[in-house]
């Protein structure tokens, strides 16, 4: 009999108590339990990067991490990028440079790019291409994405933009958790 586990983590700045099955990936927990559906499921093997989130300041594939491993971690998802109605500078630049077509890969690219700028606010183009090498896009040919990140970095360097992340706009993670906990502790 597999026990569900209570996990306490911080998601997009909110303290969250999660109830997970150990077999659930962090991606499943984010999407299915917390209704944070910005992180996308692509390959489920760590090749495409569509599920990238930031865990304790490192970019990780949330499909290759168990939800239970999130205990005590500080997690940022794409929902945590914008501050209220104000887009993060990376989101704004992706729009301006038309860095997306179908959009499935975009949340992952945004999170990898954010992680890069958090660690290195003045990246070279090579740094950017290296940092985004774990994210696949079949629409854009990458160039517009790279240009958006170069532009965003310039704005951050000029003090125009910010890489600070705000709260989850739509429904906070803790609200979503309370809803989920309300579902009861039945094991599937």
Partner 1 sequence: MHAINYESPKTIAEAVKLLAAHGEKARPLSGGTDLIIQLRAGTRRPEFVVDVKQIPELHRISFSLQHGLHLGAAVSCIELHENADMRRYYPGLTEAAHLIGSLQIQSRASVGGNLCNGSPAGDATPALIALGAKARVVGPNGERIVPVETFITGPGRTVLQPGELLVEFLIDAPAKHSSDAYLRFIPRNEMDIAVVGVGGALTLDLDDDRVVDARIALGAVGPTPIFAAEASKSLIGKKFDAAAIENAARLATSVATPIDDMRGTAEYRRHIVGVLTSRVLTIAAERARHNEQR
Inter-CA distances, 24 with 20, 34, 98, 186, Å: 7, 13, 34, 15
Q: Which helix (H) or strand (E) holds 52?
A: strand 52-55
DSSP string, 19-38: EE-TTSBHHHIIIIIS--TT
With CB under 8 A as the contact rule, which of the stretches 32-40, 84-92, 128-136, 171-179 interacts with partner 1? 128-136
76: β partners: 54
Nearest approach in angstroms of CB 85 to partner 1 is 29
Nearest to 6 by CA among 137, 177, 130: 177
**Residues numbered 102-121 forming contacts with partner 1, rule: CB under 8 A:** 112, 115
Q: Are 180 and 19 in contact (CB under 8 A)?
A: yes
CB of 187 to partner 1, least distance (A): 8
The one among 6, 8, 15, 64 contacting partner 1 by CB under 8 A: 64
Determine the Cα angle at 31 with ends 134 and 88, to 5°: 60
- Identify the residue among 15, 46, 103, 121 touching partner 1 (CB under 8 A): 46
Could you say which of 34, 68, 78, 152 contacts partner 1 (CB under 8 A)?
A: 68
Q: Judged by CB under 8 A, which of 9, 29, 30, 61 binds partner 1?
A: 61
Report if residue 22 touches partner 1, rule: CB under 8 A.
Answer: yes
Q: How far out from the chain centre does Cα 60 lie?
A: 9
Contact footprint for partner 1 (CB under 8 A)? 2-3, 5, 21-23, 25, 44-47, 49, 52, 55, 58-61, 63-66, 68-69, 71, 112, 115, 130-131, 133-135
């Amino acid at each position: 009999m597999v026990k569900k586990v209570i996990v306490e983590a911080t998601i997009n700045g909110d303290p969250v108590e999660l109830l997970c099955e150990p077999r659930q990936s962090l991606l499943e927990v984010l999407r299915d339990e917390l209704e944070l559906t910005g992180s996308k499921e692509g390959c489920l093997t760590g090749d495409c990067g569509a599920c990238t989130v930031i865990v304790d300041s490192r970019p990780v594939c949330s499909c290759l991490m168990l939800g239970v491993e999130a205990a005590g971690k500080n997690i940022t998802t794409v929902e945590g990028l914008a501050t209220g109605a104000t887009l993060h500078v990376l989101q704004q630049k992706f729009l301006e440079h038309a860095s997306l077509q179908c959009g499935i890969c975009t949340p992952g690219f945004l999170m990898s790019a954010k992680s890069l700028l958090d660690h290195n606010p003045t990246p070279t183009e090579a740094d950017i291409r290296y940092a985004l090498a774990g994210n696949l896009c079949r629409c854009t040919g990458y160039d517009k994405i790279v240009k958006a990140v170069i532009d965003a970095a310039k704005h951050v360097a000029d003090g125009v933009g910010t890489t600070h992340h705000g709260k989850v706009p739509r429904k906070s993670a803790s609200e979503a958790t309370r809803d989920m906990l309300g579902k009861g502790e039945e094991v599937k």
